[in-house]
Structure 1
Amino acid sequence: MSAQLPACQLLERFYGQSANLWPVAPPADAWLQAHSTAMISGDVALREHWSSSGKPAASPFDVPFCQQAGQIVLFWPKAHQLGIWWLKWLCHVLPDNTPVDVIGEHQGGIKRVPKILSELGMRCDKLDNARRCSLFATRTVAMEQPADAWQRFEALNLTLVSHPGVFGHGKVDEGTRLMLESIETSLPKKPLTVLDMGCGDGIISAWLAARGHQVTAVDVSAFAVEACRRTLAANQLSGRVIESDVYSALEGEQFDLIVSNPPFHQEREITYGPSQRLISGTPAHLRAGGQLVIVANGFLPYPDHLQRVFQDVETLADNRRFKVYRARKG
């Protein structure tokens, strides 16, 4: 893990080395993990890391939900509506009047939290601020299950179901549209086994399933996995949807086609880690003659990554903002 993050430095300053925390939607931080009893996260990779160190880690969609010991600390996400969902979820699953702290960086929207808490009928006390972060205290109130965060919309002749925090929430992004347009005529008419890597709300999976292909959809986010399942169900389509940190849950499996609109942001930082792992691991998960098709912002160095792994790489589409690449396994 990297150096201690500013929000965790503030928690250490406030709680000290005797801190006993139960973080919700936490970042990857060694100090936080060492001073926590358990965690809740939508990120399966982070949950697996905590579980490997013997700390309980759960998804918000795990049922039954088991409360753990420790001071609950919600790390405010960059997606404003997702933060509201987390607050409502905590109020739903925890007993009334349970203490909850909320922490975040000023550039990440934490300064809006007092107003949000007030609108939800929750108290707000400022505990501390430092490192351009603030820490607030509140308590849960009686509240119904936060199902209203799920959003349905129509696109590409499909009904999509999305959730705050899922990539492209509430819309189909330009890159995905370009990729689907570029493969519309090039895909074989026979059914293929397809892996949708980083499925988001399931638009690519549903589009392929509607054309008769056998789809496996994976994402590191529990919110994305649930959204994709709901999208397939809303269109009466079938497909396998699982949580996976890139290929971690797919050992030994191979496909005719792997498609992806891979992420390159982690919070506010540009990172190529997941996409590099996607590309480098692809040959082991493609059948002979299989293809990898990915879309990316035009400025990203994906051709270099692809050409280090594949001999046969071509650009299928380029609208100046986005490029679609295809690589074939010999």
Structure 2
Amino acid sequence: MSAETPVCQLLERQDADYRGWWWVAPPRDGWLEGGEGCLVSADLAIREAWLARGRAALSPLDNFEAEVPGAVLFWPKAHALGEWWLLWLCANLPEGTPLQLVGEHQGGIKRVLKVLAALGLGCRKLDSARRCSLFETRTARLPLEPEAVWTQFEAEGLTLASHPGVFGHGKLDDGTRLLLEQLPGHLPEGEVLDLGCGDGIIGAWMAREGRTVTATDVNTFAVEASRRSFLANQLTAEALESDVYSALDGRRFSAIVSNPPFHQERSIDYGPAARLIEQAPQHLLPGGRLLIVANAFLPYADPLERSFGSFRVLADDGRFKVYLAER
């Protein structure tokens, strides 16, 4: 199979032996998934796709011991996250391990030169095509540890953990704030689900109000951020990696509350939000409620109508809408 994405098309034409290499934070691409090497990704959906094909796949929070001849880092849209991956690779691979960095020009791959220089890492350009560039460096011992990238901030009377690449990094999103304003009087008692938990602000707010909370996210860093947020506020809540409802084993809740994602890197992707709405009735108790906030332009009215028969708009500030649907 030929490579499907521009970054992988650039890699496909390299005269390089990638056997045993790590592919770090890549996009979905059949050429990559059918080739050699091991995936390292914070995206559960991508790891599960690799595992389904019998390929090795790791989370960056896994414990591992392996001989790694080299690694390719796919530079992410969030540059601070790319910098974290560099710190992590330098901390976990032997000094001098070959490291390639690839990305699209629109995604800011050219900024890698300044990032590497600031870290004291040498660099040379290997190739450029398909509006992408490929650079090469080697790992080195750095004075900054990956753990140092974790930060905290305050919002809604809560202390929240934050990591680059997690939604709302370092601040409370305006849509989430509008959703939280609507929860009093509309959030039922019982066990509730914070789906797409991010830094854990919604789950922590609900736990503080006395609900039994399960928080899920497809992103490893988001799940860890939520766990740290719950701990920082001395709240008891469960946080799980889950691709929408994949880890919930048919569990049902009195409410599902979410600020669902609609971006995958720079592209709009309605898939997770559509599955969240379509499958919500299967995960709600009779009379259970779905409460979501979304950008006002997003087309969620039709799927809500199809899945629930009716819904209400609890708030609309021109930028965001808060929807309520009841099973």
If the TM-score is normalised by the length of the shorter chain, which range does it land in?
Answer: over 0.9
Which position in structure 2 is the counterpart of 1:8? 8
In 2, distance between residues paired with 1:35 and 1:69? 16
Give the whole-Å Cα distance in 2 for the aligned partners of 1:286 and 1:6. Answer: 41
Identity among equivalent positions (%) equals: 58
Q: In the TM superposition, what are the counterparts of 1:200-211 in structure 2 within 5 Å?
A: 200-211=198-209
- Residue 169, structure 1, aligned to residue 169, structure 2: yes
Deviation readout 1:266-297 (Å, 9 max, x if unpaired) = 11111110011111111110000000000000
Amino acid in structure 2 at the alignment position of 1:43: D
Aligned to 2:223: 225
| Structure 1 CA distance for aligned equivalents of residues 2 and 293 of structure 2 | 29
Q: In structure 1, what residue type is equivalent to 2:307?
A: V
Query: For 1:3 and 1:308, how far apart are their aligned partners in 2?
Result: 37
Counting matched residue pairs gives 325
Amino acid aligned to 1:110? I
> What amino acid sits opposite 1:235 in the alignment?
N
- 2:50 alignment partner in structure 1: 50
Corresponding residue of 1:154: 154
Distance 1:197 1:68 in 2: 37
Report the counterpart of residue 117 of structure 2 in structure 1.
Answer: 118
Question: Using the alignment, how far apart are the partners of 1:103 and 1:168 within structure 2?
Answer: 25
Amino acid at match of 1:326: L
Contact conserved, 1:294 with 1:325, CA < 8 A, in 2?
yes
CA distance in 1, matches of 2:271, 2:15: 33
- Cα distance in 2 for residues equivalent to 1:307 and 1:321: 21
Structure 2: segments with no counterpart, 5+ residues? none
Q: Once the 2 structures are TM-superposed, how far is the Cα of residue 68 of structure 1 from its aligned partner?
A: 5.3
Question: Equivalents in 1 of 2:70, 2:14: separation in Å?
Answer: 12
Equivalent pair of 1:22/1:36 in contact (CA under 8 Å): no
Partner of 1:325: 323
Q: Which residue identity lines up with residue 224 of structure 2 in the other structure?
A: E
Q: What does residue 75 of structure 1 align with?
A: 74
Displacement, 1:36? 2.7
CA distance in 2, matches of 1:89, 1:177: 32
Question: How do 1:65-144 and structure 2 match up within 5 A?
Answer: 65-67=64-66, 69=68, 71-143=70-142, 144=144
Return 5+ residue gaps in structure 1 as ranges: none
Letter in 2 for 1:11: L
Aligned to 2:179: 179
Does structure 1 retain, via aligned residues, the 8 Å contact 2:2–2:31? no
How many Å separate the matches in 1 of 2:263 and 2:71? 27
C-alpha contact (below 8 Å) 2:76/2:107 kept by paired residues: yes
Matched, 1:278 2:272: no
TM-score (norm 2): 0.96
What SS does structure 2 have at the residue aligned with 1:107? coil
Question: Hey, what does 1:260 align to over in structure 2?
Answer: 258
Provide the secondary structure at the position in 1 that maps to 2:301: helix
Could you tell me which amino acid in structure 2 is paired with residue 99 of structure 1?
A: P
> 1-side partners of 2:41 and 2:280: how far apart?
27
Shift of 1:70: 5.2
* CA–CA separation in structure 1 for the residues paired with 2:310 and 2:3: 40
* Contact persistence 1:23–1:36 (CA under 8 A): no
Distance 1:131 1:4 in 2: 12
Equivalent residue, structure 1, for 2:310: 312
Whether the aligned pair in 1 keeps the contact of 2:223 and 2:241 (CA below 8 Å) is: yes
Give, in angstroms, the shift of residue 186 of structure 1.
Answer: 2.6
**How far apart are the structure 2 equivalents of 1:68 and 1:49?**
23
The CA deviation at 1:125 is 1.0
CA separation in 2, counterparts of 1:15 and 1:53?
A: 25
Question: Aligned partners of 1:85 and 1:269: how far apart in 2?
Answer: 22
Structure 2 CA distance for aligned equivalents of residues 31 and 91 of structure 1: 27
Cα distance in 1 between the residues matched to 2:279 and 2:34: 31
AA paired with 2:105? H
Report if aligned partners of 1:291, 1:327 keep a CA contact under 8 Å in 2. Answer: yes
Check conservation: 1:37, 1:68, Cα contact below 8 A: no
Whichever residue aligns with residue 286 of structure 1, its letter is L
Say yes or no: does 1:291 pair with 2:305: no
